[in-house]
Amino acid sequence: MKKPTAGGAVSTVASMGTEALDAAVSVVRRAGEAIRSRTSHTGETEPRWHVMTVCASAEEVAPGGKLPEPLAQFGDAIDTQLRPAPGERGTELACRLHDKEDAGPRDTAEPVTGHDTVQELRTALRHAKALVETGEILLPDRPSTNRPTFTGRPLDKLIENAQGEGRL
């Protein structure tokens, strides 16, 4: 008579763990795709409003109806709204792209390869807020306290991209 070995139980537990991990990865992947698709309940892609609260009056944000230079560069490609911020804390500056193609799902390679209009709009909105509030565009990495090195380039790129997404 052959004795049962522990190897069979271990391989069963390992296979159950692998199946559970595969299921978890699948759920997370589907959730990520749903978030990235940015579709409405009708299934149609809608441009998303990007909003910043600026610590200034509406007249200071857009004197004479003229937007700050970073946003003015978009011209007629964006919709803008100015409204009082809650609690009388300045003005909400809201922008969105007209073109649904630019506002829709992004390919994951876009930020690496270059042109991403949504990120450009987010960066312009941040720069406009800085210009109105301080009179200059404040950059998180300048003036730098270190010298440029080969190993520091990835961090420099992350800081540069954080202007659009707002986080590292």
Give me the tens of pLDDT residue by residue for the chain, a chain 168 residues long: 555 555 565 566 556 667 777 777 777 777 666 555 554 444 556 788 999 999 999 999 999 999 999 999 999 999 999 999 999 899 999 999 987 555 444 444 444 445 578 889 998 999 999 999 999 987 766 666 667 788 888 877 777 777 666 554
The pLDDT score that the predictor gives to residue 144 is: 64
Q: Nearest-CA neighbor of 137 among 147, 150, 126? A: 126
User: How deeply is 161 buried, as exposed, middle or buried, from its count of CB atoms within 10 A (0-12, 13-18, 19+)?
Assistant: middle
Helix (H, G, I), strand (E, B) or coil at 97: strand
Rg of the chain over all Cα atoms, to the nearest angstrom: 24
